[in-house]
Chains A and B, each alone.
Chain A
Amino acid sequence: MHIAREWRVRRQRYRLVGEVCDQCGRTLFPPRDTCPHCTEPAQTVQTLSGRGEVFSFSTMYDAPEGFEEYVPYTVALIELEEGPMVTAQLTDVRPEEVRIGMPVEMVTRKLRDEGPEGQILYGYKFRPRVRES
Protein backbone atom coordinates (compact mmCIF):
# COMPACT_ATOMS: atom_id res chain seq x y z
CA MET A 1 0.00 0.00 0.00
CA HIS A 2 1.22 3.46 -0.86
CA ILE A 3 0.54 5.48 2.29
CA ALA A 4 1.77 8.81 0.93
CA ARG A 5 -0.32 8.43 -2.20
CA GLU A 6 -3.49 7.74 -0.24
CA TRP A 7 -2.75 10.59 2.17
CA ARG A 8 -2.41 13.10 -0.67
CA VAL A 9 -5.98 12.49 -1.86
CA ARG A 10 -7.58 12.48 1.63
CA ARG A 11 -9.48 15.74 1.10
CA GLN A 12 -11.08 14.39 -2.05
CA ARG A 13 -11.85 10.99 -0.52
CA TYR A 14 -13.41 12.31 2.69
CA ARG A 15 -15.05 15.56 1.66
CA LEU A 16 -15.22 15.70 -2.15
CA VAL A 17 -13.02 18.80 -2.32
CA GLY A 18 -12.80 20.07 -5.89
CA GLU A 19 -11.87 23.29 -7.67
CA VAL A 20 -13.64 26.02 -9.57
CA CYS A 21 -12.16 27.46 -12.75
CA ASP A 22 -11.91 31.24 -12.38
CA GLN A 23 -12.00 31.66 -16.14
CA CYS A 24 -15.02 29.59 -17.31
CA GLY A 25 -16.68 28.98 -13.95
CA ARG A 26 -16.86 25.21 -14.28
CA THR A 27 -16.50 23.01 -11.22
CA LEU A 28 -13.78 20.35 -11.41
CA PHE A 29 -13.63 17.08 -9.52
CA PRO A 30 -11.11 15.72 -8.87
CA PRO A 31 -9.05 18.93 -8.65
CA ARG A 32 -6.52 19.19 -11.47
CA ASP A 33 -5.02 22.70 -11.41
CA THR A 34 -5.40 23.24 -15.15
CA CYS A 35 -8.99 23.46 -16.39
CA PRO A 36 -9.55 20.88 -19.16
CA HIS A 37 -12.33 23.00 -20.67
CA CYS A 38 -10.45 26.29 -21.16
CA THR A 39 -6.87 25.26 -20.16
CA GLU A 40 -6.66 28.18 -17.71
CA PRO A 41 -5.37 27.66 -14.15
CA ALA A 42 -8.14 26.59 -11.74
CA GLN A 43 -7.21 26.98 -8.10
CA THR A 44 -10.24 28.10 -6.12
CA VAL A 45 -11.11 25.28 -3.75
CA GLN A 46 -14.72 24.20 -3.44
CA THR A 47 -16.26 21.42 -1.36
CA LEU A 48 -18.99 19.70 -3.34
CA SER A 49 -22.45 18.99 -1.94
CA GLY A 50 -22.17 15.24 -2.46
CA ARG A 51 -25.57 15.10 -4.14
CA GLY A 52 -26.04 13.72 -7.62
CA GLU A 53 -27.76 11.23 -9.91
CA VAL A 54 -26.79 7.83 -11.26
CA PHE A 55 -25.59 8.31 -14.86
CA SER A 56 -24.78 4.63 -15.36
CA PHE A 57 -24.00 1.58 -13.21
CA SER A 58 -22.69 -1.97 -13.32
CA THR A 59 -22.73 -4.87 -10.91
CA MET A 60 -19.35 -6.61 -10.80
CA TYR A 61 -18.91 -10.36 -10.42
CA ASP A 62 -15.09 -10.39 -10.81
CA ALA A 63 -13.10 -8.11 -8.54
CA PRO A 64 -9.57 -6.70 -8.58
CA GLU A 65 -7.13 -7.76 -5.84
CA GLY A 66 -8.25 -6.59 -2.41
CA PHE A 67 -11.94 -6.31 -3.30
CA GLU A 68 -12.76 -10.02 -3.76
CA GLU A 69 -14.70 -10.31 -0.48
CA TYR A 70 -17.25 -7.68 -1.53
CA VAL A 71 -18.37 -9.38 -4.79
CA PRO A 72 -20.95 -8.81 -6.16
CA TYR A 73 -20.96 -5.03 -5.73
CA THR A 74 -22.32 -2.17 -7.80
CA VAL A 75 -20.23 0.66 -9.23
CA ALA A 76 -21.56 3.77 -10.90
CA LEU A 77 -20.90 6.99 -12.70
CA ILE A 78 -22.53 9.73 -10.63
CA GLU A 79 -23.36 13.08 -12.18
CA LEU A 80 -22.90 15.57 -9.32
CA GLU A 81 -25.19 18.58 -8.85
CA GLU A 82 -22.28 20.95 -9.49
CA GLY A 83 -21.60 19.36 -12.90
CA PRO A 84 -18.66 16.97 -12.71
CA MET A 85 -19.00 13.21 -12.91
CA VAL A 86 -17.43 10.83 -10.37
CA THR A 87 -16.80 7.07 -10.41
CA ALA A 88 -17.77 5.34 -7.15
CA GLN A 89 -19.31 2.31 -5.52
CA LEU A 90 -22.96 2.36 -4.50
CA THR A 91 -23.85 1.27 -0.98
CA ASP A 92 -26.97 0.58 1.09
CA VAL A 93 -28.88 -0.55 -2.00
CA ARG A 94 -29.57 -3.87 -3.69
CA PRO A 95 -28.19 -4.11 -7.26
CA GLU A 96 -31.63 -4.74 -8.74
CA GLU A 97 -32.99 -1.52 -7.20
CA VAL A 98 -30.49 0.76 -8.94
CA ARG A 99 -31.82 2.90 -11.81
CA ILE A 100 -30.30 5.46 -14.15
CA GLY A 101 -31.41 8.86 -12.84
CA MET A 102 -31.70 7.65 -9.23
CA PRO A 103 -30.88 10.51 -6.77
CA VAL A 104 -27.89 9.60 -4.59
CA GLU A 105 -25.73 11.22 -1.91
CA MET A 106 -22.19 10.73 -0.73
CA VAL A 107 -21.33 8.83 2.44
CA THR A 108 -17.98 7.80 3.93
CA ARG A 109 -17.37 4.07 4.03
CA LYS A 110 -14.50 1.61 4.18
CA LEU A 111 -13.11 1.10 0.66
CA ARG A 112 -10.74 -1.74 1.49
CA ASP A 113 -8.25 -2.95 4.05
CA GLU A 114 -4.84 -4.39 3.51
CA GLY A 115 -5.08 -7.43 5.75
CA PRO A 116 -4.06 -7.65 9.44
CA GLU A 117 -0.83 -5.64 9.00
CA GLY A 118 -2.07 -3.02 6.60
CA GLN A 119 -4.03 0.21 6.80
CA ILE A 120 -7.78 0.54 6.39
CA LEU A 121 -8.75 2.85 3.59
CA TYR A 122 -11.89 5.01 3.82
CA GLY A 123 -13.48 7.09 1.12
CA TYR A 124 -16.67 8.13 -0.64
CA LYS A 125 -19.44 5.82 -1.73
CA PHE A 126 -22.94 6.86 -2.76
CA ARG A 127 -26.30 5.68 -1.40
CA PRO A 128 -29.88 6.41 -2.45
CA ARG A 129 -30.70 9.92 -1.18
CA VAL A 130 -32.52 9.76 2.14
CA ARG A 131 -32.94 13.46 2.87
CA GLU A 132 -34.33 15.94 0.41
CA SER A 133 -32.73 19.17 0.30
Chain B
Amino acid sequence: MREVAVIGIGQTPVGEHWERSLRHLAHDAVKAALQDAGVERPDALYVGNMLSGELTGQEHLGALIADFVGLRGIEAVKIEAACGSGAAAFRIGYMAVAGGLHDVVVVVGVEKMTDSPSEVITSALAMAADQEYEAGQGISFVALNALLMRRYMHEFDIPHDAFSGFAINAHRNAAGNPNAMFQRPVTLEAYRQAPMIADPISLLDSSPICDGAAAVVLAPTDSEIARQARQRHGIARVIASAVATDSVAIHDRRDPLFLEAVALSSYKAYEQAQVQPSDIHLFELHDAFSITAVLSLEAAGFARRGKGTLLAMDGEISIEGRIPVSTMGGLKARGHPVGATGIYQIVEVVQQLTGRAGPNQVQHAGIGMAQNVGGSGATVITHILEAAD
Protein backbone atom coordinates (compact mmCIF):
# COMPACT_ATOMS: atom_id res chain seq x y z
CA MET B 1 0.00 0.00 0.00
CA ARG B 2 1.14 3.54 -0.73
CA GLU B 3 0.99 6.24 1.91
CA VAL B 4 -1.66 8.81 1.02
CA ALA B 5 -1.87 12.52 1.89
CA VAL B 6 -4.51 15.21 1.65
CA ILE B 7 -2.79 17.80 -0.54
CA GLY B 8 -5.63 20.26 -1.10
CA ILE B 9 -8.86 21.37 0.60
CA GLY B 10 -11.89 23.45 -0.35
CA GLN B 11 -15.25 24.30 1.20
CA THR B 12 -18.28 26.51 0.76
CA PRO B 13 -19.76 28.34 3.73
CA VAL B 14 -22.47 26.23 5.40
CA GLY B 15 -25.93 27.79 5.47
CA GLU B 16 -29.11 28.30 3.49
CA HIS B 17 -27.98 28.70 -0.11
CA TRP B 18 -31.18 29.80 -1.80
CA GLU B 19 -29.26 31.07 -4.81
CA ARG B 20 -27.00 28.04 -5.36
CA SER B 21 -28.04 24.53 -6.42
CA LEU B 22 -26.44 21.26 -5.38
CA ARG B 23 -24.24 21.16 -8.47
CA HIS B 24 -23.08 24.75 -7.94
CA LEU B 25 -22.12 24.04 -4.31
CA ALA B 26 -20.16 20.95 -5.36
CA HIS B 27 -18.52 22.96 -8.12
CA ASP B 28 -17.27 25.64 -5.75
CA ALA B 29 -15.77 23.15 -3.28
CA VAL B 30 -14.12 20.98 -5.97
CA LYS B 31 -12.62 23.99 -7.75
CA ALA B 32 -11.24 25.37 -4.50
CA ALA B 33 -9.69 22.03 -3.52
CA LEU B 34 -8.10 21.45 -6.95
CA GLN B 35 -6.63 24.93 -6.90
CA ASP B 36 -5.33 24.45 -3.35
CA ALA B 37 -3.68 21.20 -4.44
CA GLY B 38 -2.28 22.61 -7.66
CA VAL B 39 -4.09 19.95 -9.69
CA GLU B 40 -5.88 20.48 -13.00
CA ARG B 41 -7.25 17.08 -13.87
CA PRO B 42 -7.51 14.34 -11.22
CA ASP B 43 -7.91 10.66 -12.17
CA ALA B 44 -11.24 10.21 -10.39
CA LEU B 45 -14.01 12.03 -8.51
CA TYR B 46 -15.96 10.46 -5.64
CA VAL B 47 -19.10 12.14 -4.35
CA GLY B 48 -20.46 11.71 -0.82
CA ASN B 49 -24.18 12.52 -0.62
CA MET B 50 -27.21 11.12 1.17
CA LEU B 51 -30.40 12.89 0.10
CA SER B 52 -30.15 14.20 -3.46
CA GLY B 53 -32.53 11.56 -4.83
CA GLU B 54 -35.16 12.12 -2.16
CA LEU B 55 -34.95 15.91 -1.85
CA THR B 56 -34.08 17.10 -5.35
CA GLY B 57 -35.04 14.10 -7.49
CA GLN B 58 -31.47 14.01 -8.75
CA GLU B 59 -29.31 10.92 -8.53
CA HIS B 60 -26.34 10.02 -10.73
CA LEU B 61 -24.24 12.70 -9.05
CA GLY B 62 -20.91 11.21 -10.14
CA ALA B 63 -21.32 12.03 -13.81
CA LEU B 64 -23.38 15.15 -13.12
CA ILE B 65 -20.76 16.83 -10.95
CA ALA B 66 -17.78 15.59 -12.95
CA ASP B 67 -19.27 17.22 -16.05
CA PHE B 68 -20.28 20.39 -14.22
CA VAL B 69 -16.79 21.02 -12.82
CA GLY B 70 -15.11 20.50 -16.19
CA LEU B 71 -13.94 16.93 -15.68
CA ARG B 72 -16.12 15.24 -18.32
CA GLY B 73 -14.73 11.77 -19.06
CA ILE B 74 -13.18 10.85 -15.71
CA GLU B 75 -14.23 8.05 -13.37
CA ALA B 76 -16.91 9.38 -11.00
CA VAL B 77 -19.51 7.79 -8.69
CA LYS B 78 -21.68 8.72 -5.71
CA ILE B 79 -21.22 6.90 -2.39
CA GLU B 80 -23.97 6.74 0.25
CA ALA B 81 -23.87 5.77 3.94
CA ALA B 82 -26.53 8.07 5.44
CA CYS B 83 -24.89 10.92 7.41
CA GLY B 84 -21.60 9.03 7.04
CA SER B 85 -21.61 9.42 3.25
CA GLY B 86 -18.82 12.03 3.20
CA ALA B 87 -16.26 9.94 5.06
CA ALA B 88 -17.37 6.83 3.14
CA ALA B 89 -16.52 8.63 -0.11
CA PHE B 90 -13.19 9.75 1.39
CA ARG B 91 -12.37 6.16 2.24
CA ILE B 92 -13.05 5.04 -1.34
CA GLY B 93 -10.73 7.79 -2.60
CA TYR B 94 -8.12 6.76 -0.03
CA MET B 95 -8.33 3.10 -1.08
CA ALA B 96 -7.98 4.03 -4.75
CA VAL B 97 -4.78 6.01 -4.16
CA ALA B 98 -3.33 3.70 -1.48
CA GLY B 99 -3.97 0.68 -3.70
CA GLY B 100 -2.22 2.27 -6.66
CA LEU B 101 -5.29 2.38 -8.89
CA HIS B 102 -5.19 6.17 -9.13
CA ASP B 103 -2.53 8.81 -8.47
CA VAL B 104 -4.70 11.85 -7.82
CA VAL B 105 -8.30 11.71 -6.61
CA VAL B 106 -10.76 14.43 -5.60
CA VAL B 107 -13.50 13.65 -3.08
CA VAL B 108 -16.45 15.99 -2.58
CA GLY B 109 -19.25 15.85 -0.02
CA VAL B 110 -22.35 17.84 -0.93
CA GLU B 111 -25.88 18.26 0.40
CA LYS B 112 -28.77 20.58 -0.48
CA MET B 113 -31.46 20.35 2.17
CA THR B 114 -33.09 23.75 2.65
CA ASP B 115 -35.10 23.81 -0.61
CA SER B 116 -37.58 21.31 0.92
CA PRO B 117 -40.31 21.80 3.56
CA SER B 118 -39.38 20.61 7.05
CA GLU B 119 -41.67 17.53 7.20
CA VAL B 120 -40.17 16.31 3.91
CA ILE B 121 -36.65 16.74 5.31
CA THR B 122 -37.70 14.96 8.53
CA SER B 123 -38.97 12.00 6.47
CA ALA B 124 -35.88 11.99 4.30
CA LEU B 125 -33.52 11.95 7.30
CA ALA B 126 -35.52 9.06 8.78
CA MET B 127 -34.31 6.98 5.83
CA ALA B 128 -31.10 6.60 7.85
CA ALA B 129 -33.15 4.47 10.27
CA ASP B 130 -34.95 1.14 9.75
CA GLN B 131 -37.78 2.02 7.36
CA GLU B 132 -40.13 -0.84 8.31
CA TYR B 133 -39.68 -0.93 12.09
CA GLU B 134 -38.57 2.57 13.11
CA ALA B 135 -39.51 5.22 10.55
CA GLY B 136 -42.76 3.36 9.73
CA GLN B 137 -43.91 3.98 13.30
CA GLY B 138 -43.78 7.74 12.74
CA ILE B 139 -40.58 8.24 14.66
CA SER B 140 -38.14 10.90 13.44
CA PHE B 141 -34.37 10.61 13.40
CA VAL B 142 -34.18 13.22 16.16
CA ALA B 143 -36.58 11.21 18.33
CA LEU B 144 -34.47 8.05 17.93
CA ASN B 145 -31.55 9.95 19.41
CA ALA B 146 -33.84 11.41 22.06
CA LEU B 147 -34.62 7.84 23.18
CA LEU B 148 -30.89 7.31 23.74
CA MET B 149 -30.53 10.63 25.57
CA ARG B 150 -33.50 9.98 27.88
CA ARG B 151 -32.21 6.51 28.79
CA TYR B 152 -28.68 7.86 29.32
CA MET B 153 -29.97 10.56 31.69
CA HIS B 154 -31.96 7.89 33.53
CA GLU B 155 -29.22 5.25 33.83
CA PHE B 156 -26.41 7.56 34.82
CA ASP B 157 -28.49 10.13 36.70
CA ILE B 158 -27.38 13.01 34.43
CA PRO B 159 -29.37 16.29 34.32
CA HIS B 160 -30.12 18.01 31.01
CA ASP B 161 -27.81 20.93 31.90
CA ALA B 162 -24.84 18.56 31.89
CA PHE B 163 -25.01 18.42 28.08
CA SER B 164 -24.88 22.21 27.65
CA GLY B 165 -21.07 22.29 27.38
CA PHE B 166 -21.17 20.69 23.94
CA ALA B 167 -23.41 23.37 22.43
CA ILE B 168 -21.52 26.17 24.16
CA ASN B 169 -18.13 24.84 22.99
CA ALA B 170 -19.34 24.28 19.41
CA HIS B 171 -20.86 27.75 19.09
CA ARG B 172 -17.81 29.43 20.66
CA ASN B 173 -15.57 27.72 18.09
CA ALA B 174 -17.91 28.47 15.18
CA ALA B 175 -17.53 32.18 15.95
CA GLY B 176 -13.94 31.86 14.69
CA ASN B 177 -14.86 29.98 11.51
CA PRO B 178 -15.97 32.14 8.55
CA ASN B 179 -17.53 29.06 6.92
CA ALA B 180 -19.72 28.16 9.92
CA MET B 181 -23.50 28.54 9.87
CA PHE B 182 -23.85 30.03 13.39
CA GLN B 183 -20.97 32.42 14.06
CA ARG B 184 -22.20 33.47 17.48
CA PRO B 185 -21.67 32.08 20.97
CA VAL B 186 -24.55 30.78 23.10
CA THR B 187 -24.99 30.90 26.87
CA LEU B 188 -26.14 28.38 29.45
CA GLU B 189 -29.30 30.47 29.81
CA ALA B 190 -30.03 30.16 26.08
CA TYR B 191 -29.44 26.39 26.33
CA ARG B 192 -31.94 26.11 29.16
CA GLN B 193 -34.59 28.07 27.27
CA ALA B 194 -34.23 26.40 23.87
CA PRO B 195 -37.48 24.84 22.58
CA MET B 196 -37.86 21.06 22.53
CA ILE B 197 -37.80 19.20 19.19
CA ALA B 198 -38.14 15.68 20.60
CA ASP B 199 -37.97 15.68 24.36
CA PRO B 200 -35.25 15.76 25.85
CA ILE B 201 -33.47 16.95 22.66
CA SER B 202 -33.86 20.70 22.29
CA LEU B 203 -32.89 23.01 19.45
CA LEU B 204 -29.47 23.51 21.09
CA ASP B 205 -28.86 19.76 21.42
CA SER B 206 -29.35 19.34 17.69
CA SER B 207 -27.47 20.22 14.51
CA PRO B 208 -29.28 22.39 11.95
CA ILE B 209 -30.77 21.67 8.51
CA CYS B 210 -28.42 23.32 5.99
CA ASP B 211 -26.62 23.26 2.64
CA GLY B 212 -22.92 22.95 1.90
CA ALA B 213 -20.08 21.24 0.07
CA ALA B 214 -16.49 20.42 0.98
CA ALA B 215 -13.75 18.75 -1.04
CA VAL B 216 -10.26 17.30 -0.66
CA VAL B 217 -7.56 16.14 -3.07
CA LEU B 218 -5.63 12.94 -2.32
CA ALA B 219 -2.26 11.84 -3.70
CA PRO B 220 0.65 9.62 -2.63
CA THR B 221 2.74 11.43 0.01
CA ASP B 222 5.93 10.85 -1.98
CA SER B 223 4.56 12.16 -5.29
CA GLU B 224 5.88 15.32 -6.93
CA ILE B 225 2.48 17.02 -6.73
CA ALA B 226 2.35 16.32 -2.96
CA ARG B 227 5.90 17.62 -2.50
CA GLN B 228 4.94 20.91 -4.12
CA ALA B 229 1.75 21.26 -2.08
CA ARG B 230 3.77 20.51 1.05
CA GLN B 231 6.12 23.41 0.28
CA ARG B 232 3.26 25.81 -0.41
CA HIS B 233 0.97 25.19 2.57
CA GLY B 234 1.67 21.82 4.17
CA ILE B 235 -0.15 18.51 3.76
CA ALA B 236 -1.57 15.87 6.10
CA ARG B 237 -0.80 12.16 5.86
CA VAL B 238 -3.65 9.67 6.33
CA ILE B 239 -2.36 7.25 8.99
CA ALA B 240 -5.60 5.35 9.64
CA SER B 241 -8.88 4.67 7.83
CA ALA B 242 -11.40 2.32 9.41
CA VAL B 243 -15.11 1.53 9.06
CA ALA B 244 -17.38 -0.53 11.30
CA THR B 245 -21.11 -1.23 11.30
CA ASP B 246 -23.85 -2.03 13.81
CA SER B 247 -27.57 -2.76 13.48
CA VAL B 248 -29.45 0.05 11.75
CA ALA B 249 -32.32 -0.13 14.27
CA ILE B 250 -31.53 0.98 17.81
CA HIS B 251 -33.90 -1.67 19.21
CA ASP B 252 -31.68 -4.38 17.70
CA ARG B 253 -28.60 -3.29 19.69
CA ARG B 254 -27.19 -5.37 22.51
CA ASP B 255 -26.73 -2.21 24.59
CA PRO B 256 -28.24 0.93 23.03
CA LEU B 257 -26.07 3.21 25.20
CA PHE B 258 -22.80 1.75 23.95
CA LEU B 259 -21.96 2.64 20.34
CA GLU B 260 -20.19 -0.56 19.43
CA ALA B 261 -19.35 0.54 15.89
CA VAL B 262 -17.68 3.67 17.29
CA ALA B 263 -15.51 1.48 19.51
CA LEU B 264 -14.73 -0.98 16.70
CA SER B 265 -13.83 1.66 14.15
CA SER B 266 -11.88 3.83 16.64
CA TYR B 267 -9.75 0.99 17.98
CA LYS B 268 -9.08 -0.38 14.51
CA ALA B 269 -7.89 3.13 13.58
CA TYR B 270 -5.70 3.47 16.71
CA GLU B 271 -4.06 0.19 15.83
CA GLN B 272 -3.38 1.21 12.23
CA ALA B 273 -1.93 4.55 13.31
CA GLN B 274 -0.08 3.06 16.30
CA VAL B 275 -1.55 5.67 18.65
CA GLN B 276 -3.58 5.82 21.86
CA PRO B 277 -6.52 8.16 22.48
CA SER B 278 -4.12 10.27 24.58
CA ASP B 279 -1.95 10.89 21.48
CA ILE B 280 -4.81 12.57 19.58
CA HIS B 281 -4.52 16.39 19.60
CA LEU B 282 -8.00 17.14 18.29
CA PHE B 283 -11.12 15.11 17.57
CA GLU B 284 -13.70 16.17 15.01
CA LEU B 285 -16.48 13.97 16.36
CA HIS B 286 -20.02 13.50 15.09
CA ASP B 287 -21.98 15.91 17.31
CA ALA B 288 -25.24 15.72 15.32
CA PHE B 289 -26.83 15.65 18.80
CA SER B 290 -25.15 16.32 22.13
CA ILE B 291 -25.92 12.73 23.19
CA THR B 292 -24.02 11.46 20.10
CA ALA B 293 -20.97 13.47 21.18
CA VAL B 294 -21.13 11.97 24.68
CA LEU B 295 -21.62 8.37 23.51
CA SER B 296 -18.83 8.79 20.94
CA LEU B 297 -16.34 10.13 23.49
CA GLU B 298 -17.08 7.16 25.73
CA ALA B 299 -16.95 4.44 23.06
CA ALA B 300 -13.80 5.92 21.45
CA GLY B 301 -11.95 5.74 24.77
CA PHE B 302 -11.84 9.41 25.83
CA ALA B 303 -14.17 9.01 28.83
CA ARG B 304 -15.45 6.21 31.01
CA ARG B 305 -19.06 5.10 30.57
CA GLY B 306 -21.51 7.56 32.07
CA LYS B 307 -18.77 10.21 32.41
CA GLY B 308 -18.74 11.73 28.91
CA THR B 309 -20.51 14.94 29.90
CA LEU B 310 -17.79 15.72 32.45
CA LEU B 311 -15.34 16.47 29.62
CA ALA B 312 -17.53 19.35 28.49
CA MET B 313 -18.09 20.68 32.00
CA ASP B 314 -14.39 20.67 32.86
CA GLY B 315 -13.30 22.53 29.74
CA GLU B 316 -11.33 19.56 28.42
CA ILE B 317 -12.98 19.77 24.98
CA SER B 318 -12.12 23.44 24.33
CA ILE B 319 -9.36 24.55 21.91
CA GLU B 320 -6.92 24.76 24.86
CA GLY B 321 -8.23 21.61 26.55
CA ARG B 322 -6.96 18.04 26.73
CA ILE B 323 -9.04 16.82 23.79
CA PRO B 324 -10.44 19.68 21.68
CA VAL B 325 -13.61 18.67 19.79
CA SER B 326 -15.66 20.47 17.12
CA THR B 327 -12.79 22.94 16.75
CA MET B 328 -14.43 24.79 13.83
CA GLY B 329 -17.95 24.55 15.24
CA GLY B 330 -18.74 20.88 14.66
CA LEU B 331 -22.02 19.61 13.26
CA LYS B 332 -23.84 21.62 15.92
CA ALA B 333 -22.64 25.09 14.91
CA ARG B 334 -20.60 24.85 11.70
CA GLY B 335 -23.66 22.97 10.46
CA HIS B 336 -24.50 19.43 9.32
CA PRO B 337 -25.20 19.21 5.58
CA VAL B 338 -25.45 15.44 6.10
CA GLY B 339 -23.60 13.88 3.15
CA ALA B 340 -21.02 16.69 3.16
CA THR B 341 -20.23 16.58 6.88
CA GLY B 342 -17.56 13.87 6.73
CA ILE B 343 -15.52 15.95 4.28
CA TYR B 344 -15.94 19.16 6.29
CA GLN B 345 -14.51 17.26 9.26
CA ILE B 346 -11.46 16.12 7.28
CA VAL B 347 -10.95 19.59 5.78
CA GLU B 348 -10.95 21.00 9.31
CA VAL B 349 -8.49 18.43 10.64
CA VAL B 350 -6.20 19.33 7.71
CA GLN B 351 -6.62 23.05 8.49
CA GLN B 352 -5.48 22.32 12.05
CA LEU B 353 -2.56 20.08 11.06
CA THR B 354 -1.25 22.56 8.48
CA GLY B 355 -1.61 25.59 10.75
CA ARG B 356 -4.46 27.09 8.74
CA ALA B 357 -7.19 27.17 11.41
CA GLY B 358 -6.90 30.90 12.12
CA PRO B 359 -8.13 32.04 15.55
CA ASN B 360 -9.21 28.43 16.30
CA GLN B 361 -5.73 26.98 15.82
CA VAL B 362 -4.95 24.16 18.27
CA GLN B 363 -1.33 24.76 19.32
CA HIS B 364 1.15 22.03 18.30
CA ALA B 365 -1.56 20.03 16.53
CA GLY B 366 0.27 17.03 15.08
CA ILE B 367 -2.35 14.26 15.03
CA GLY B 368 -6.07 14.75 14.39
CA MET B 369 -8.99 12.35 14.23
CA ALA B 370 -12.22 12.72 12.23
CA GLN B 371 -15.18 10.45 12.90
CA ASN B 372 -18.31 10.44 10.76
CA VAL B 373 -21.41 8.49 11.84
CA GLY B 374 -24.18 7.21 9.56
CA GLY B 375 -27.52 6.68 11.30
CA SER B 376 -27.67 6.39 15.09
CA GLY B 377 -24.27 4.65 15.22
CA ALA B 378 -24.87 2.10 12.44
CA THR B 379 -21.96 3.08 10.16
CA VAL B 380 -18.91 4.65 11.79
CA ILE B 381 -15.94 5.82 9.74
CA THR B 382 -12.77 6.98 11.49
CA HIS B 383 -9.77 8.66 9.91
CA ILE B 384 -6.58 9.71 11.67
CA LEU B 385 -4.29 12.21 9.98
CA GLU B 386 -0.82 13.44 10.83
CA ALA B 387 0.96 16.65 9.90
CA ALA B 388 3.71 15.99 7.35
CA ASP B 389 6.42 18.45 8.28
Q: Do A and B bind each other?
A: yes
Question: A: which residues have CB within 8 A of B?
Answer: 5, 9, 12, 30, 36, 55-68, 70, 73, 75-77, 84-89, 95, 100, 111-112, 123
Judging by beta carbons under 8 Å apart, are A57 and B138 in contact?
A: no
A67 neighbours in B (Cβ, 8 Å): 138
Judging by beta carbons under 8 Å apart, are B197 and A62 in contact?
A: yes
How far apart sit A60 and B200, CA to CA, in the bound complex (Å)? 10
Q: A60-B140, A73-B138, A75-B147 are in contact. Are A87 and B118 (CB under 8 A)?
A: no
Query: From DSSP, what is the main secondary structure of chain B's interface residues?
Result: helix
Judging by beta carbons under 8 Å apart, are A64 and B119 in contact?
A: yes
B154 neighbours in A (Cβ, 8 Å): 56, 100
Give the number of residues in B that approach A within 8 Å (Cβ atoms): 38
Flag B107-120 by CB within 8 Å of A: 1 or 0 each.
Answer: 00000000000111
Judging by beta carbons under 8 Å apart, are B136 and A111 in contact?
A: yes
Shortest beta-carbon contacts, A-B, top 3: A58-B146, A56-B151, A85-B251
Judging by beta carbons under 8 Å apart, are A111 and B146 in contact?
A: no
Contacting residues of chain B (133-170) with chain A, CB-CB under 8 angstroms: 133-140, 142-144, 146-148, 150-151, 154
Q: Of A30, A65, A77, A84, which is within 8 A of B119 by CB?
A: A65
A64 neighbours in B (Cβ, 8 Å): 119, 122-123, 126, 135, 138, 140
Judging by beta carbons under 8 Å apart, are A36 and B247 in contact?
A: yes
Contacting residues of chain B (229-264) with chain A, CB-CB under 8 angstroms: 247, 249-252, 256
Judging by beta carbons under 8 Å apart, are B199 and A87 in contact?
A: no
Judging by beta carbons under 8 Å apart, are B249 and A68 in contact?
A: no
Judging by beta carbons under 8 Å apart, are A86 and B146 in contact?
A: no
Judging by beta carbons under 8 Å apart, are A62 and B142 in contact?
A: yes
Judging by beta carbons under 8 Å apart, are A86 and B133 in contact?
A: yes
Instruction: Write the chain B residue with the least CB distance to A13.
Output: B136
B122 neighbours in A (Cβ, 8 Å): 62-65
Judging by beta carbons under 8 Å apart, are A30 and B132 in contact?
A: yes
Judging by beta carbons under 8 Å apart, are A77 and B140 in contact?
A: no
Interface assignment of B313: CB less than 8 Å from any CB of chain A? no
Q: Of A12, A58, A62, A111, which is within 8 A of B147 by CB?
A: A58
Judging by beta carbons under 8 Å apart, are A65 and B123 in contact?
A: yes
B249 neighbours in A (Cβ, 8 Å): 87
Judging by beta carbons under 8 Å apart, are A63 and B132 in contact?
A: no
Question: B: which residues have CB within 8 A of A?
Answer: 118-120, 122-123, 126, 130, 132-140, 142-144, 146-148, 150-151, 154, 195-201, 247, 249-252, 256
Q: Among the interface residues A61, A84, A89, which one has the most CB atoms of the partner chain B within 10 A?
A: A61
Judging by beta carbons under 8 Å apart, are A87 and B150 in contact?
A: no
State the Cβ distance, B336 to closest chain A Cβ, in Å. Answer: 16
Instruction: Write the chain A residue with the least CB distance to B257.
Output: A56
Q: Among the interface residues B134, B150, B201, which one has the most CB atoms of the partner chain A within 10 A?
A: B150
Q: A64-B123, A87-B249 are in contact. Are A58 and B136 (CB under 8 A)?
A: no
State the Cβ distance, B33 to closest chain A Cβ, in Å. Answer: 35
Judging by beta carbons under 8 Å apart, are B136 and A60 in contact?
A: no
How far apart sit A64 and B141, CA to CA, in the bound complex (Å)? 9
B151 neighbours in A (Cβ, 8 Å): 55-56, 77, 100
Instruction: Write the chain A residue with the least CB distance to B200.
Output: A58
How far apart sit A64 and B195, CA to CA, in the bound complex (Å)? 18
Judging by beta carbons under 8 Å apart, are A68 and B119 in contact?
A: yes
How far apart sit A106 and B302, CA to CA, in the bound complex (Å)? 40
State the Cβ distance, A95 to closest chain B Cβ, in Å. Answer: 8
Beyond known contacts A56-B150, A56-B151: 7 more, CB 8 A cutoff = A56-B147, A58-B150, A58-B198, A59-B198, A60-B142, A64-B138, A100-B150
A5 neighbours in B (Cβ, 8 Å): 132
Judging by beta carbons under 8 Å apart, are A86 and B199 in contact?
A: no
B199 neighbours in A (Cβ, 8 Å): 58-61, 95
B256 neighbours in A (Cβ, 8 Å): 55-56, 77, 85
Judging by beta carbons under 8 Å apart, are A87 and B250 in contact?
A: yes
Q: A59-B198, A62-B198 are in contact. Are A76 and B136 (CB under 8 A)?
A: no
How far apart sit A65 and B144, CA to CA, in the bound complex (Å)? 16
Instruction: Write the chain A residue with the least CB distance to B249.
Output: A87
Q: Of A36, A85, A87, A95, which is within 8 A of B137 by CB?
A: A87
State the Cβ distance, A93 to closest chain B Cβ, in Å. Answer: 14
